Amino acid sequence: MYKYISAVDSFRFYMRVYRTDAMKIESKDWKIVCDSTNSTFHPLVFYSHAHSDHIPRKLPKTEIISSHITKSLIKNFVKNFSETSFYDSYSIGNTSFEQKSSGHIIGSTALFIDSDEGKVIYTGDVSIRNKGFLDPFKPEKCDILIVESTFGSPEYVFPSYEEEIKKTQEQILEYLDNNVPVVLMGYALGKAQMLYHAFSDLSSNVVLHGSNYNINSILQSENIDHSIQAASYTEAKEDNLFTKKGDWILFTPLKSGRDPFFSFLKNKYGAKLFAFSGWCLSSNYKYRMNVDHAITISDHADYSELLQICRECDPDQIYTVYGYSERFAGELRREGFTAFPLSKQTILDSYFNKSVNSN
């Protein structure tokens, strides 16, 4: 059964949710742009986290809502930081804009908008899994839910996070006990901190390469938790650590094992390569990436978790963005939700007095 919104209830809503060059939410009295990657001026902007596909290279001179961690990271990634104003929370008339953890990466937040016209949640990239060092996203009842759908297809149901970590720890320790070094590959902001939390204590010889070292240095300089004490690849090489020790762990960005650098590590030191990604569920991922182990660990919610978020938020309308947005919207409609995929140039008016029975 599809939900029906009565004409009486619907008159309190006037809201537009749409996506052109950025994700936009607009009411009678305010407008906010979420995760815009360009520097176009908007009166109010929200950045959910500091991944490069969610922030611009040059900040617009405007009012910005973000967490203090995201703010600190953005400061190191963009131009004209000093020309902008950052806020933890914001209000316009009777409308409040609040942030709560989205559970995605360090500093990531979802935006909760409460107004006379209803409650809106923009999740940004989201996760409800307990990773041991981040607060997971906690769904709340709302009128409009804007949810990411990166893994919004039924084949993407991840194995238990705790079991994957435990199994991988055991495999790493087996290698290290036999003086076989390991290379753990994951995105330098987000995935890397998950890997540090789970695996950096397994060896006293921990090394960071490239952007992993650079991001870790930024976290340390900004006094942000979840950095670790580790040598850079250059320092370790100068100290001959790789030849003197066989039980080292090298954390690097995620690349193909065919990359000359990783081929060198395999051929020179016999290193074993571990790739960490939600896409490891694909049967050919390990061979396509030419790694020894492909571990299904993601900082995004999987399909079942996305469904759980939608069920617990129980909104009147859902907008899906990114990834499998069309597929996930279709799955949600089969569950009885009123759901629409949002892509660029999509404009949908959320006047809840429109008929929803035909969707």
pLDDT in tens, 216-242: 999 999 999 899 999 999 999 999 999
Same domain, 243 and 325: no
Where does a domain end: 279, 295, 311? Answer: 295
Q: Which one has a higher pLDDT value, 15 or 185?
A: 185
Q: Residue 135 — very low, low, confident or very high, per pLDDT cuts 50/70/90?
A: very high
Same domain, 46 and 112: yes
Task: Answer whether residue 23 shows pLDDT above 60.
Answer: yes
Q: What is the pLDDT of residue 344?
A: 60
Same domain, 75 and 16: yes
E strands in 2-134? 16-19, 23-26, 31-34, 44-46, 63-65, 85-87, 90-92, 95-101, 109-115, 118-122
Q: What is the pLDDT of residue 79?
A: 83
Same domain, 107 and 73: yes
Same domain, 145 and 173: no
pLDDT in tens, 66-98: 999 999 999 999 988 888 899 999 999 999 999
In a domain, 2, yes or no: no
Q: Residue 6 — very low, low, confident or very high, per pLDDT cuts 50/70/90?
A: very low
Q: What is the pLDDT of residue 21?
A: 78
Residue 255 in contact with residue 199, Cβ under 8 Å? no
In a domain, 343, yes or no: yes
305's enclosing H/E stretch is helix 303-313
Where does a domain end: 280, 295, 310? Answer: 295
Residues 6+ apart with CB under 8 A from 238: none
Q: What is the CATH number of the domain that holds 304?
A: 3.60.15.10
User: Domain total for the chain?
Assistant: 2
Q: Which one has a higher pLDDT value, 14 or 84?
A: 84
Q: Which one has a higher pLDDT value, 49 or 3?
A: 49
Where does a domain end: 275, 295, 315? Answer: 295
Counting residues of the chain whose pLDDT is more than 90, the rounded percentage is: 84
Same domain, 291 and 307: no
State the pairing for strand pair 339-342/317-321: parallel
Q: What is the pLDDT of residue 283?
A: 86
Same domain, 242 and 337: no
Q: Residue 13 — very low, low, confident or very high, per pLDDT cuts 50/70/90?
A: low
Q: Residue 2 — very low, low, confident or very high, per pLDDT cuts 50/70/90?
A: very low
Task: Answer whether residue 348 shows pLDDT above 60.
Answer: no
Same domain, 142 and 256: no
Task: Answer whether residue 14 shows pLDDT above 80.
Answer: no
For residue 306, give its domain range.
Answer: 7-155+300-349
DSSP-assigned beta bridge partners for residue 174: none
Q: What is the pLDDT of residue 81?
A: 86
Task: Answer whether residue 352 shows pLDDT above 60.
Answer: no
Q: What is the pLDDT of residue 228?
A: 96
In a domain, 233, yes or no: yes
Q: What is the CATH number of the domain that holds 274?
A: 3.40.50
Same domain, 241 and 203: yes
In a domain, 1, yes or no: no
Q: What is the pLDDT of residue 276?
A: 98
Counting residues of the chain whose pLDDT is more than 70, the rounded percentage is: 92
Same domain, 222 and 310: no
**What's the start-to-end Cα distance of the chain, in Å?**
11
Same domain, 140 and 238: no
Same domain, 225 and 150: no
Q: What is the pLDDT of residue 22?
A: 84
In a domain, 359, yes or no: no
